[in-house]
Chain A
């Protein structure tokens, strides 16, 4: 076996030009696959991260009747009247879980924000400012003025895009209107103390933050809250464990604990779909490549007919000749894969740091909840799968030439000119 590998490896370099071209084709194909996967995956990951970081958190606890699942892309669906009537025990249950890093209570509902001239539909979020700043990045996204303070009853923190839309600035007064818990019209005036800016101007136009006390007062909620948002340690691995550890301490009939995947299943499917599409496309490319590899290996076989004849005359079994050709093709594959992975890794590493600037597509990216710079992701599984696809292609395309070589009749082959 070792001898065959050595012969195959040496054969490969007998015609460096030909082998080099096959290796180059494989490397380009694999590089394209790794970059495309890294780009698509980076894009979907950013979409998820932006949503998780700015609003959703890893876990949410609601009243068991609350429909937390997001339909399509409509985030603005809140049920004020499905509240958690006794937040104390829930807080204790969350605090008791070793997986929880931070948590924050919220009141959330839809309403209108108006100043003297203009109105805009908004999601009104009542928060504990300190806790919220540990869970989401809204406080860190401050652009002008300052973040709201816990005790404040009349200050509001809004998106810069909303401020622009309403034609107001830090220091201006706005009125929030919504239906309160008793379905009466509720109105309260607030002073804008600061503005924030996330990557999505749709988000910035929609979410306004007041202290939870102010929200409870305005909406007649006393000590009630709508949801708890929780950040988990190492969510990629421990999301489900963390969910279970919080849920086991809570009465299932009264509360529901959901992961972000359950709350917004569409996001998860977008990632899956885009990866499936990329793999399908590149399998097609590798099929096109297989013809080129088969051709090169076939040529390598036909120019060595005499050699194979001698090998067989000396006692090599057909299966050994078959193996020799297959190994030669796989050797080509290995060099191609190594080259492809190397330049693929360098590319996704570089663009993972620098990002791909797509400012010209800001409108469509924003619609997807993305900023205009996409950072490619370097997921090890892409290198493994891409490499496997390329090696399998190399092996499959050697089957025909290898069986040709194996079937040669020694006497004829030796006499072949």
Chain B
């Protein structure tokens, strides 16, 4: 057995040029697979982390029906009892934030220097989601406060202060300190309007948050909408996403399913999960084509290696080697050759991906385009072990599959004819 292995290894290096070319192709293809995969995992994780971290949280509790309708018809009527079902002291949970979210309109109201309304400037109305949020709780569970570009975060000391996204500020033509009018239907379905002052402008990197949200202190919004202490949403942030199923299950079982819905981020943002899968499929198609192209190269090399050695196989068989041993030799040769390529490919892929974990791919010039999908224009790679194992495994497996044909050919030569082959 070991003699055949030795034979196979030596065969690899009989035609150095050919083997090296094949090894380069395998290494290049594999490195490309590993690198692409690392970038995809990296920016998908980033997307999900950002979407959860900036606003959505891991788990959201609503009154049943809120997520489909998003109106004040679906309210958490007993907020204290609902919040009590979330095991806040638990290590798995970072914290929770009570919120009121409802659709409304915002218009700009400029105040002239004299104090009266500036009637010379036009007015601008936008459709938005109005959010009432508890500043302290939000600071604990979201990173929205870090995303403030100008001004400051909302505070309970400033009940009429709101923060809005940069895109909304721009399309309204307002800046920090300006007055805007929010209007919407309240709990009793009557139209309410109230002035707020823009205290902060944020850039979350997601087009809906940046262009369609206005966030004010919870108590103000509850008063504005005549909600008392009722909420639309309780958002929970976990310390580690692996507890998602456990914690959401625990909260779910503590609440009456007829009255409440407990949703994970995947249910709150189905488009995000789907985007990741959709994008992954695109990457798989690309990688599959790449691997097939590389595999054809391996097959070609191995076939050539067999056909230029027909006499040799004849001699081996004439000397008493069994067909299975001849096949094994060819098989092992392919294994060694691909193996060297796989080793080099892993090293190259790792180096390329590692560099990108420190230095991001910078697509800042396309930031507005990427924000549509909530993609951070600075893309970092993520190095995960399955990446190396799966990519290497597929290329190795395919190479061995490809070597079956040449191996069978070699095993089926008839010694007498093969020896006479010119």
Chain A residues within CB distance 8 Å of chain B = 17-18, 21-22, 24-25, 28-29, 32, 36, 71-74, 76-82, 109-112, 114, 116-123, 165, 177-179, 183, 185, 206, 266, 269-270, 273, 281, 284-285, 287-289, 291-292, 294-296, 298-299, 303, 358, 360-364, 366-367
B350 lies within 8 A of chain A by Cβ: no
Output the least CB separation between B28 and chain A (Å): 5
Known: A118-B73, A299-B18, A299-B304. 17 other contacts (CB 8 A): A29-B289, A32-B289, A72-B167, A73-B372, A76-B127, A81-B123, A110-B125, A111-B105, A112-B185, A114-B189, A121-B105, A206-B127, A284-B32, A288-B290, A295-B25, A295-B297, A363-B271
Q: Are A72 and B304 in contact (CB under 8 A)?
A: no
Complexed CA–CA distance, A71 and B165 (Å): 13
**Which residues of chain B have C-beta atoms less than 8 A from A206's C-beta?**
127
CA distance in complex: A165, B68 (Å): 8
B303 contacts A18, CB within 8 Å? yes
A287 to B28, CA, bound (A): 9
Q: Contact between B18 and A21 (Cβ–Cβ < 8 Å)?
A: no
- Pick 27 A–B contacts, CB within 8 A, sort by A: A18-B304, A21-B303, A32-B289, A72-B207, A72-B368, A72-B372, A73-B372, A74-B207, A111-B125, A112-B104, A112-B105, A112-B184, A119-B71, A121-B103, A121-B127, A179-B107, A284-B32, A284-B290, A291-B28, A292-B300, A295-B25, A298-B17, A299-B18, A303-B308, A363-B271, A364-B271, A367-B271
A110 touches B126 (CB 8 A): yes
Within the assembled complex, what's the spacing in Å between the Cα atoms of A149 and B191?
Answer: 30
Pairwise interchain contact B296-A292, C-beta atoms closer than 8 A: yes
Contact B25 A79 (CB under 8 A): no
Output the least CB separation between B347 and chain A (Å).
Answer: 17
B290 with A361: CB separation less than 8 A = no
- Interface: B116 (CB within 8 A): no
Residues of A within 8 A of B28 (CB): 287-288, 291
Q: How far is the CA of A24 from the CA of B300 in the complex (A)?
A: 11
Complex Cα distance, B294 from A25, in Å, reads: 8
How far is it, in angstroms, between the C-alpha of A287 and the C-alpha of B293 when the chains are bound?
A: 10
Query: How far in angstroms is the closest Cβ of chain B from A215?
Result: 15
Best-surrounded residue of B127, B272, B294 (most CB of chain A within 10 A): B127
- Complex contact A361–B274 (CB within 8 A): yes
Does the CB pair B369–A18 fall under 8 Å? no
Residues of A with C-beta under 8 A to B212: 74
Q: How far is the CA of A364 from the CA of B184 in the complex (A)?
A: 29
Do residues B185 and A36 form an inter-chain contact, with CB atoms below 8 A? Answer: no
Q: Which of B10-54 contact A (CB under 8 A)?
A: 17-18, 21-22, 24-25, 28-29, 32
- Verify A28–B289 contact, CB threshold 8 A: yes
Which 6 residue pairs across A and B have the least CB separation, nearest first? A292-B297, A121-B127, A291-B25, A32-B289, A25-B296, A364-B274
Q: Are B301 and A295 in contact (CB under 8 A)?
A: yes
Bound-state Cα–Cα, A26 to B69, Å: 52
Give the residues in chain B near A18, CB-CB below 8 Å: 300, 303-304
Residues of B within 8 A of A (CB): 17-18, 21-22, 24-25, 28-29, 32, 69, 71, 73, 103-105, 107, 122-128, 167, 170-171, 184-185, 189, 191, 207, 210-212, 270-272, 274-275, 277-278, 285-286, 289-290, 292-294, 296-297, 299-301, 303-304, 308, 366, 368-369, 371-372
B296's partner among A28, A116, A363 (CB-CB below 8 A) is A28
The residues of B that contact A71 with a CB separation of less than 8 Å are 167, 170-171, 211, 368
A358 to B107, CA, bound (A): 39
Determine the distance from Cα of A410 to Cα of B170 in the docked complex, in whole angstroms. Answer: 76
Residues of B within 8 A of A122 (CB): 127
Chain A residues, CB < 8 A from B270: 363-364
CB-based contact A361/B126 at 8 Å: no
In the assembled complex, the Cα of A281 lies from the Cα of B371 at a distance in Å of: 22
Distance A19 CA – B397 CA, assembled complex (angstroms):
24
Report which residue of B18, B21, B22, B123 has the largest number of chain A beta carbons within 10 angstroms of its beta carbon: B21
Would you call A185 and B123 a contact (CB within 8 A)?
A: no
Please name the residue on chain B nearest to A303 by beta carbon: B308
- Taking a contact as CB atoms under 8 Å apart, the answer to whether A361 and B18 are in contact is no
Q: Report the nearest A residue to B172, measured CB to CB.
A: A77
The residue in chain A whose Cβ has the minimal distance to the Cβ of B282 is: A36
Q: Which of A270, A288, A295 contacts B18 (CB 8 A)?
A: A295
Which residues on the B side are within 8 Å of A292 (C-beta)? 22, 25, 293-294, 296-297, 300
A358 vs B278: C-alpha distance when bound (angstroms) = 9
> Whole-angstrom distance between the alpha carbons of A81 and B272 in the complex?
37
Label chain B's interface by main secondary structure: helix
Check if A21 sits within 8 Å of B207, measured CB to CB.
no
Residues in A whose Cβ lies below 8 Å from that of B189:
114, 116-117, 119
Contacts of B191 in A (CB 8 A): 112, 177, 185
B104, B297, B372: the one within 8 Å of A25 (CB): B297
For the complex, what is the distance from the CA of A119 to the CA of B105, rounded to whole Å?
11
Residues of B within 8 A of A72 (CB): 167, 207, 210-211, 368, 371-372
Q: Which residues of A contact B372 (CB under 8 A)?
A: 72-73, 266
Q: What CA separation (Å) do A29 and B297 show in the bound complex?
A: 12
A298 to B25, CA, bound (A): 15
Contact partners of B24 in chain A: CB under 8 A? 291
The answer to whether A366 and B271 have CB atoms under 8 Å apart is yes
Which residues of A have CB within 8 Å of B210?
Answer: 72
A110 to B38, CA, bound (A): 43
Q: Determine the chain B residues whose CB is within 8 A of the CB of A178 once the complex forms.
A: 125
Is B125 touching A179 in the complex (CB atoms < 8 A)?
yes
Q: How far does the Cβ of A118 sit from chain B's closest Cβ, in whole Å? A: 5
CB distance from A304 to the nearest CB of B (A): 13
Interchain nearest-CB distance for A213 vs B (Å): 22
Report the separation of the CA atoms of residues A269 and B370 in the bound assembly, to the nearest whole angstrom: 11
Q: How far is the CA of A116 from the CA of B185 in the complex (A)?
A: 11
Nearest B residue (CB) for A22: B300
A288 contact set on B, CB distance < 8 A: 25, 28-29, 32, 290, 293-294, 297
Cross-chain contact A120 with B103 (CB below 8 angstroms): yes
Are A110 and B122 neighbours in the complex by a CB distance under 8 Å? no
Which listed residue (B69, B107, B285, B366) contacts A118, Cβ 8 A? B69
Between B17, B128, B212, the greatest number of chain A beta carbons within 10 A of the residue's beta carbon is seen for B17
- Would A296 and B300 count as touching, CB distance under 8 A? yes
Chain A residue numbers with a CB within 8 Å of B71 are: 117-120
Which B residues lie within 8 Å of A303 (CB)?
Answer: 308
Q: Which residue of B lies closest to A111 (CB)?
A: B105
Q: Is the CB–CB distance between B123 and A363 below 8 Å? A: no
Of all chain B residues, which has the CB nearest A270? B369
Give the shortest distance, in Å, between B346 (CB) and chain A (any CB). 16
Residue numbers in B under 8 Å from A289 (CB-CB): 293, 297
**Chain B positions within 8 Å of A179 at CB level:** 107, 123, 125
Min CB distance B270 to A, Å, is 4
B293 CB contact (under 8 Å) in A281, A285, A360? A285
Q: Is B285's CB under 8 angstroms from A17's CB? A: no
- In the bound complex, CA of A287 to CA of B29 (Å): 9
Contact indicator A361/B122 (Cβ below 8 Å)? no
Q: How far is the CB of B309 from chain A (nearest CB, A)?
A: 13
Distance (Å) between the CB of A131 and the closest chain B CB? 26
Which single residue of chain A is at the shortest CB-CB distance from B173?
A67
